[in-house]
């Protein structure tokens, strides 16, 4: 499917916290981020160990290997994601290499020259600024249309109880 067709065909995915057995449904924003949506859609399923953000606030994310033929341009960017936004970020290994991020030495993304961050924002008042790098705009490529309340409760539990052993996955609905 080309980027032009993406705006006319509705596509949905399921975003899940596997161990907690919680999912929500998101609509891809093919009219606003066609290149990113096509890249994600063509690579599904995607996922990995889940992390809860330290800086952005109400965000959970998985770090995955690059999967697009070419990294998408910064289409439909934001630095203030709202509840239900799915965002796409690209980082280099050195951007995520400082100990201040809290990644363990054996984290699966260590040693990759490019790391893709697929994120879900589950509550208000997020600001994408990082003390090391400054503003970190993300591509908004999807929006949760069902189940955000259940997912937000699970994300709060993840924040309090911990993320070890939990996976965040993205699949076609």
Q: Is 6 part of any domain?
A: no
As a whole number, the mean pLDDT across the chain is 90
pLDDT of res. 9: 87
Q: Is 4 part of any domain?
A: no
Contact (Cβ atoms closer than 8 angstroms) between residue 28 and residue 43? no
pLDDT of res. 2: 44
Q: Is 115 part of any domain?
A: yes
Q: Is 1 part of any domain?
A: no
Tally the domains of the chain: 1
pTM tops 0.85, yes or no: yes
Element (H, E) at 115: strand 114-121
Q: Is 71 part of any domain?
A: yes
The CA-atom distances, in angstroms, between 43 and each of 2, 39, 142, 163 are: 14, 6, 15, 24
Low-confidence ranges of the chain (pLDDT < 50): 1-7
pLDDT of res. 107: 61
pLDDT of res. 106: 60
pLDDT of res. 68: 96
Rounded to the nearest angstrom, the gap between the alpha carbon of residue 15 and the centroid of all alpha carbons in its chain is 10
Contact (Cβ atoms closer than 8 angstroms) between residue 62 and residue 129? no
Full residue range of the structural domain in which residue 153 is found: 12-172
């Amino acid at each position: 499917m080309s980027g032009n067709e993406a705006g006319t065909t509705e596509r949905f995915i399921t975003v899940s916290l596997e161990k907690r057995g919680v999912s929500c449904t998101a609509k891809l924003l093919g009219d606003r981020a066609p290149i990113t949506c096509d890249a994600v859609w063509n690579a599904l399923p995607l996922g990995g160990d889940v992390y809860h953000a330290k800086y952005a606030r109400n965000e959970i994310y998985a770090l995955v290997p690059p999967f697009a033929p070419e990294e998408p341009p910064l289409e439909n960017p934001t630095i203030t994601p709202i509840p239900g936004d799915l965002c796409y970020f690209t980082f280099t290994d050195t951007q995520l290499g400082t100990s201040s991020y809290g990644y363990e030495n054996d984290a699966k993304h260590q040693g990759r020259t490019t790391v893709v961050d697929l994120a879900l924002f589950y509550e208000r008042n997020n600001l994408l600024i990082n003390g090391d790098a400054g503003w970190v705009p993300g591509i908004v490529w999807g929006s949760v249309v069902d189940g955000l309340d259940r997912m937000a409760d699970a994300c709060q539990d993840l924040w309090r109880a911990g993320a070890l052993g939990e996976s965040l996955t993205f699949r076609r609905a």
